[in-house]
Structure 1
Amino acid sequence: MPFGQIEGTDILALDPRFKRLFAGYVRVERLWTGAVWSEGPAWFPAGRYLVWSDIPNNRMLRWCEESGQVSVFRAPANNSNGNTIDNQGRLVTCEHLTRRVTRTEVDGSIVVVADRWRGKRLNSPNDVVVKSDDSIWFSDPSYGIDSDNEGDRAEPEIDGCHVYRVDASGEVERVVDGMTRPNGLAFSPDERFLYVADTGATHKENGPRHIRRFAVAADGRSLSGGEVFAESTAGLFDGFRVDRDGRLWTSAGDGVHCYDPDGTLIGKILIPEAVANVAFGGAKRNRLFVCGTSSLYSVMLMTNGSRLG
């Protein structure tokens, strides 16, 4: 095992295009361990820290780049799951317990972005992204209401699990239906496409374990298409992010899988536990943070996260 490398980790190139994304000396780092189920990393460039969720422990954690220390960012945290940063640098969070999407203002107050669609409570918002027009897009599977482990067990009020868009006026619009359990989502760098993972295999025998790609219309809100972009070859895809060249860096059962925009699996970052989500961070957004089941990892890349990554 090379010096500095964590046992069970490796950078596995399946295509020459992947090798160019790493310097020869790069190793995967384990930054911290001690969570039950890590999820939803989001990078705050102004403070040089990463916030992520430990869902069953009902807390959000913060890793500080300068000191390398981890502290509790928020507890209780309403069984928070996915997080992102909006165009004004504010935290946007999916909460299982309260079945809502919230925004944390600069003064620390919390504003409800969405908790209902047509008067009915959402299931349990899971992951979230913000578009350049400030609209907020989120997935709403049922994981937070399926049991008491990640929220409160409850019967769904909405017919199924879908993807929603919230515009500046606060209107909540369903933009994707027909999925079993929509999960992670991200826009391509030019916002021409929205990628959405479906982890329906958790609830349906031989159910979906793929990422679909939708074309975004000129109005910036309507979607079409929805063809399968990639099928998981190890466990399930969950959360993912996109780099500046449109490559998808997605969580999987054996680590992080990287897909070229043409749909080719070009490589893997092997992690010794299932991965739930990733985020780009660091001063140049060339550090990939990885939420393993119990631990936080990172690896330096020769590429950068897209503005919306």
Structure 2
Amino acid sequence: MLTDWFEVHDERFRALVLPNVHVERLFSDGRWLEGPVYVPAGRYLLFSDIPNNRVLRWDETDNSISTFLSPSNFANGHTLDRQGRVLACEHFSRSVTRVEHDGTLTVIADRFEGKRLNSPNDLVVADDGAVWFTDPTYGISTEYEGSRSPSEIGSRNVYRVDPHGDIAAVYTDLIQPNGLAFSPGGDELYVVDSGCEPSALYAFSVVDGAVLGDRRLICECPAGIYDGIRIDRHGHIWAGTAEGIHCLAPDGSLLGKIRLPETAANLCFGGAHRNRLFICATRSLFSVFLNTNGL
């Protein structure tokens, strides 16, 4: 029998969860937690506490919490590139940055057509090394998560930075682009629009690895908004919502939920087998072992 943490809506969900596990609360002293990334080389998780302007580090070896970076330029989303380097979306500097292996910082993108970006939110790295990221205005709309500033670009876009550093706006018709993730094989890009009502999750075909083609609606969020998303090796979509995590089939069918007492903002797979889901949910960091693995 499944624990109370899990809510089954489709029998396929039972194969993805384990009957004898529980959700663990690893940390509970944040203001608005976001942007988790698991770093396998060090067996630790980095995650953002945006209003407190810091990035925290949870150590898998001893469950300790420490400050990784403060101030953090109100960093939000994180990911790793193919060389294991940490990339971050920074609200305050309005940029995407990368920490090199020697500790130096490289700016991946901070402007488009000579104008400052809004406040990069979340990002993924494609197989060819290109960095794709969303750029809503959450970090420039108040001082709570960045700095109140006008948008120089005047739109909220999805961007791609190729391995040579050239930036292109690949989609410009969303209200507030947010979480994003590639499908297995990389032939589709999933993007959340958390600014429309109701919040929506879309899939775009990826043409020649560099251009977004047709858009199709996957589903609309029935509980709050969709925020961060991750994909498992079977192609299921795991999405943050007001109820916790929703697990969706690639066609948008709701398979099940991981119920949490706080709104889930973002998530990632980690651990030695990438079968542990880490969830940033308002003030707390949660984790749960699943019967599936992240891409």
Same fold? TM cut 0.5 = yes
Deviation sequence 1:39-91 (CA, Å, 0-9, x none): 00000001000000000000000000010001000000000000001110000
**Paired position in structure 2 for 1:256:** 245
Distance in 1 separating the partners of 2:154 and 2:213: 21
Aligned-pair distance for 1:26? 1.1
**Paired position in structure 2 for 1:215:** 205
Deviation sequence 1:94-149 (CA, Å, 0-9, x none): 00000000000111111000000000000000000000000000000000100111
**Paired position in structure 1 for 2:139:** 144
**Paired position in structure 1 for 2:119:** 124
Distance in 2 separating the partners of 1:105 and 1:55: 22
**Paired position in structure 2 for 1:195:** 190
Q: 1:157 aligns with which of 152, 160, 170?
A: 152
Q: 1:229 aligns with which of 213, 218, 221?
A: 218
Alignment of 1:27-176 (within 5 A): 27-176=22-171
Maintained 8 Å contact 2:182/2:190: yes
Does the residue aligned with 1:191 lie in a helix, a strand or coil?
coil
Maintained 8 Å contact 2:198/2:221: no
Does the residue aligned with 2:172 lie in a helix, a strand or coil?
strand
CA RMSD after TM alignment: 1.1
Aligned-pair distance for 1:262? 2.3
Letter in 2 for 1:229: I
Does the residue aligned with 2:121 lie in a helix, a strand or coil?
coil
Distance in 1 separating the partners of 2:149 and 2:269: 34
Distance in 2 separating the partners of 1:102 and 1:39: 17
**Paired position in structure 2 for 1:267:** 256
**Paired position in structure 2 for 1:204:** none
Q: TM-score scaled by structure 1?
A: 0.94
Per mean C-alpha deviation after superposition, the further-off stretch among 187-196 and 22-31 is 22-31
Distance in 2 separating the partners of 1:263 and 1:46: 34
Deviation sequence 1:7-56 (CA, Å, 0-9, x none): xx611111110011122101111111100000000000010000000000
Letter in 1 for 2:242: G
Letter in 2 for 1:119: G
Distance in 1 separating the partners of 2:198 and 2:157: 14
Maintained 8 Å contact 2:133/2:159: yes
Maintained 8 Å contact 1:287/1:299: yes
Distance in 1 separating the partners of 2:221 and 2:277: 20
Q: 1:278 aligns with which of 237, 255, 267?
A: 267
Maintained 8 Å contact 1:186/1:241: yes
Letter in 2 for 1:105: E
Work out the number of aligned pairs and report it. 294
Distance in 2 separating the partners of 1:23 and 1:147: 41
Aligned-pair distance for 1:208? 4.5
Aligned-pair distance for 1:159? 2.1
Distance in 1 separating the partners of 2:292 and 2:264: 21
Distance in 1 separating the partners of 2:133 and 2:17: 31
Q: TM-score scaled by structure 2?
A: 0.98
Does the residue aligned with 1:157 lie in a helix, a strand or coil?
coil
Distance in 1 separating the partners of 2:94 and 2:18: 42
Does the residue aligned with 1:17 lie in a helix, a strand or coil?
helix
Distance in 1 separating the partners of 2:224 and 2:18: 28
Deviation sequence 1:194-244 (CA, Å, 0-9, x none): 00000114xxxxx34011000011x11111111111110100000110000
